[in-house]
């Protein structure tokens, strides 16, 4: 019988492994720390940047008229944080918001509660739009004729809003932030990765959204991009895995969600194979 691979003292296979972390710079610290605690060597390379929007008249009106909506839905931590910033600019206290509020993802719930929002629909299972749509509160009889405001980034996925509209809801969007390719690299430079990927000895890459994956692919040039496609990639969903396959990634593992703990579990799992 062949011996099982030895785990590190922490019970993980991440000891000494180099992991490229592509979260936005201001949101990467927790993941970098977790990897270090497991003995890994994290390498920060933000492939997406979250930027505020200059609110137009329509956005200002919707945020000033939140009381007209039966339901608010925050789709991400960024949606919570940038909504709060805009409310502050409009002199609207979070405490004055009495709407029913739902969130997608545990991290979003934590951010919303920390900001002072009272969550009325929290998901017990699942971390995505499909899970929210499966919740009893969002079935056709209950949402029919209800006014729902979805707070998200510019160009967010249409599935949630489209499905709620099909169930009879009246859906509006408040696009409170935007995503972009970073203008500058905070740590390792993209040119360095493009030209000398092999010198970094990267064992795995973690991405947390389709856009961060596409940006990473676009930011690198051969030969680094070619080497990237042959490196283990951890993604947060099946949808992101499909994009990875289309881009040409050879080794892809879908985590349960984009939560740091789930990404870490998936990373640990693939490191068993190295």
Distance CA 147, CA 16 (A): 52
- 203 vs 2, 138, 237, 265, CA distance in Å? 24, 42, 20, 15
Assess whether pLDDT exceeds 80 at residue 190: yes
Alpha helices in 38-167 (DSSP H): 57-64, 77-89, 106-115, 129-134, 140-143, 159-166
Please tell me whether residue 128 adopts helix, strand or coil conformation: coil
**Predicted confidence (pLDDT) per residue in 152-170, tens digit:** 999 888 999 999 999 999 9
Contact of 35 with 42, CB cutoff 8 Å: yes
According to DSSP, residue 2 is labeled: P
pLDDT class of 4 with cuts at 50, 70, 90: very low
Provide the b/e sequence for 57-66 (b: ≥16 CB within 10 Å): eebeebbeeb
- When pLDDT is averaged across residues 6-16 and rounded to a whole number, the result is 64
Which H/E stretch holds residue 214?
Answer: helix 210-219
Assess whether pLDDT exceeds 70 at residue 60: yes
> Of 72, 94, 105, nearest to 174 (Cα)?
72
Which H/E stretch holds residue 6?
Answer: none
> Of 192, 252, 246, 199, nearest to 220 (Cα)?
192
Asked which of 5-19, 145-159, 242-256 is least confident by mean pLDDT, the reply is 5-19
Q: Residue 5 has what pLDDT?
A: 46
Of the CA atoms within 13 Å of residue 106, those in its CB half-sphere come to 10
Structural domains for the chain: 18-48+182-271 (3.40.50.10090), 51-178 (3.40.50.10090)
Question: pTM above 0.75?
Answer: yes
Distance CA 149, CA 56 (A): 16
Distance CA 125, CA 131 (A): 7
- Percent with pLDDT over 90 in the chain: 84
Pairing of strands 204-206, 18-21: parallel
pLDDT class of 7 with cuts at 50, 70, 90: very low
């Amino acid at each position: 019988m062949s011996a099982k691979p030895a785990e590190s003292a922490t019970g993980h296979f991440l000891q000494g492994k180099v992991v490229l972390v592509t979260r936005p710079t201001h949101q990467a610290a927790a993941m970098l720390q977790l990897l270090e605690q497991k003995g890994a060597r994290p390498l920060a390379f933000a492939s997406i940047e979250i930027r505020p929007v200059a609110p137009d008249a329509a956005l200002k009106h919707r945020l000033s008229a939140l009381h007209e909506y039966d339901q608010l839905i925050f789709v991400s931590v960024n949606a919570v944080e940038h909504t709060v910033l805009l409310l502050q600019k409009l002199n609207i206290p979070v405490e004055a918001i009495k709407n029913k509020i739902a969130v997608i993802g545990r991290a979003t719930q934590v951010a919303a509660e920390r900001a002072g929002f009272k969550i009325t629909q929290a998901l017990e299972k699942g971390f995505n739009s499909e899970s929210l749509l499966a919740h009893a509160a969002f079935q056709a009889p209950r949402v029919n004729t209800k006014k729902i405001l979805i707070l998200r980034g510019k160009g967010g996925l249409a599935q949630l809003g489209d499905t709620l509209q099909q169930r009879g809801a009246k859906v509006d969007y408040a696009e409170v932030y935007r995503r972009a390719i970073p203008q500058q690299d905070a740590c390792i430079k993209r040119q360095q990765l493009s030209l000398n990927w092999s010198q970094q000895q990267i064992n795995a890459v973690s991405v947390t959204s389709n856009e961060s994956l596409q940006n990473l692919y676009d930011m690198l040039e051969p030969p680094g991009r070619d080497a990237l496609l042959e490196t283990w990639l951890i993604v947060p969903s099946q949808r992101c895995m499909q994009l990875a396959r289309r881009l040409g990634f050879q080794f892809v593992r879908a985590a349960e969600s984009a939560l740091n703990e789930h990404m870490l579990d998936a990373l640990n799992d693939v490191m068993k194979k190295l």
